[in-house]
């Protein structure tokens, strides 16, 4: 089960061992390569090669890289996923990123922001909770992660200046939100260069999250936390969803006990087949099958980042 040159198998029945079996059984080549890179001492080149299969001539990414959008066309959500992969393996040099930034420029709104999904998605399958509009607005949901990842990797491009301004305005004007938008804001704030401003904005967002009960702080009382409109029944978010790393600004939003309970819950969510579940609304079997290895890898990375033993 281990590729040549990889590290030895984790202890039998450990979370990592069980997850490895699940990944080899169900995952796409990209997630197999990512798992090997993160946990079995694999190389970055095979991950990048697998990711290239989803890249289009326009510099964007498609082909269901984000499983809830099917079809070949490039979409901002696919590009968010691609940049997360490149960030994870440290591959931000060369013409690849320049082409991505050119693509971002072509699909941005006049304000410099990215829509969630562009109208080219029409005619291809997509999750029913993804809005398909002829003239979609720019969204923090997609712009925030892209801008944050570009800043974190010290990429500078003309597109980034207006997009950064858009993110600042969006983050600092939030008075109501939902968990995925908050996660996007955190990715932006964790890496944007103006650290004092980011810390002040994060402190305000943390108060909003607690006041509006956007994070379940006591898993024994789920009923006290509303599910955001449009989310699946029981699609709650927890401290570890916002602070996937202890270095995140969102870590300061939660006490040590709250974080520990959240990580306990994450560890206990591993299912009998070794994978972690998809918590958002299920709409197509293939989308769920392809998403679960992604969720599983992120769960393991979060637990390890917070010092939890995974095997």
89 closest CA partner among 57, 50, 123: 50
Give the per-residue SS3 of 256-286.
HHHHHHHHHHHHHCCCCCCCCCCCCCCCCHH
Cα(249)–Cα(198) distance, rounded to whole angstroms?
Answer: 9
> What tokens does 161 get?
């200046």
84 closest CA partner among 187, 216, 181, 169: 187
What pLDDT, on the 0 to 100 scale, is given for residue 9? Answer: 56
For the chain, the domains span 15-305
Cα(295)–Cα(5) distance, rounded to whole angstroms?
Answer: 26
CATH number of 15-305: 1.50.10.20
Under DSSP, is residue 242 helix (H, G, I), strand (E, B) or coil? helix
What pLDDT, on the 0 to 100 scale, is given for residue 222? Answer: 87
String of DSSP letters for 120-179: GGTTS-B-TTS---SSPPP-HHHHHHHHHHHHHTT---HHHHHHHHHHHHHHHT-SS--H
What pLDDT, on the 0 to 100 scale, is given for residue 10? Answer: 57
What pLDDT, on the 0 to 100 scale, is given for residue 38? Answer: 98
Contact indicator for 4, 304 with CB cutoff of 8 Å: no
Cα(222)–Cα(23) distance, rounded to whole angstroms?
Answer: 30
Under DSSP, is residue 53 helix (H, G, I), strand (E, B) or coil? coil
pLDDT in tens, the chain (311 residues): 445 555 555 566 899 999 999 999 999 999 999 999 999 999 999 999 999 999 999 999 999 999 999 999 999 999 999 999 999 999 987 788 999 999 999 999 999 999 999 999 999 999 999 989 999 999 999 999 999 999 999 998 999 999 999 999 999 999 999 999 999 999 999 999 999 999 999 999 999 999 999 999 998 888 888 898 889 998 999 999 999 999 999 999 999 999 999 999 999 999 999 999 999 999 999 999 999 999 999 999 999 999 999 99
What pLDDT, on the 0 to 100 scale, is given for residue 12? Answer: 63
Count of CB atoms situated within 10 Å of the CB of 311 = 17
Contact indicator for 253, 215 with CB cutoff of 8 Å: yes
- pTM of the full predicted structure? 0.94
Q: In 190-253, where does DSSP find H-type helix? A: 195-211, 239-242
């Amino acid at each position: 089960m281990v590729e040549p040159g990889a590290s030895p198998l984790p202890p039998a029945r450990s979370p990592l061992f069980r997850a490895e079996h699940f990944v080899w059984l169900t995952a796409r080549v990209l997630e197999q390569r990512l798992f090997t890179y993160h946990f079995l001492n694999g190389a970055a080149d095979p991950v990048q090669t697998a990711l290239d299969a989803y890249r289009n001539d326009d510099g964007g990414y498609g082909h269901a890289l984000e499983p809830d959008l099917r079809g070949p066309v490039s979409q901002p959500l696919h590009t968010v996923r691609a940049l997360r992969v490149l960030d994870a393996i440290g591959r931000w040099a060369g013409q690849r990123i320049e082409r991505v930034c050119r693509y971002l420029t072509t699909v941005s709104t006049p304000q410099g922001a990215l829509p969630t999904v562009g109208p080219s998605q029409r005619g291809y399958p997509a999750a029913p909770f993804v809005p398909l509009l002829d003239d979609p607005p720019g969204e923090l949901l997609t712009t925030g992660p892209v801008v944050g990842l570009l800043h974190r990797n010290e990429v500078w491009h003309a597109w980034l200046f207006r997009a950064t301004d858009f993110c600042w305005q969006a983050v600092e004007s939030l008075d109501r939100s939902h968990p995925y938008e908050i996660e996007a804001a955190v990715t932006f704030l964790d890496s944007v260069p103006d650290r004092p401003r980011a810390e002040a904005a994060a402190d305000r967002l943390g108060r909003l999250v607690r006041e509006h009960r956007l994070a379940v702080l006591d898993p024994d009382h789920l009923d006290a936390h509303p599910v955001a409109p449009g989310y699946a029944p029981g699609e709650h978010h927890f401290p570890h969803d916002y602070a996937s790393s202890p270095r995140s600004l969102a870590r300061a939003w939660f006490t040590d006990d709250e974080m520990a309970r959240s990580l306990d819950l994450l560890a206990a969510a591993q299912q009998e087949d070794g994978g972690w579940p998809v918590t958002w609304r299920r709409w197509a079997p293939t989308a769920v099958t392809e998403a679960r290895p992604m969720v599983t890898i992120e769960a393991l990375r979060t637990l390890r980042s917070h010092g939890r033993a995974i095997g």
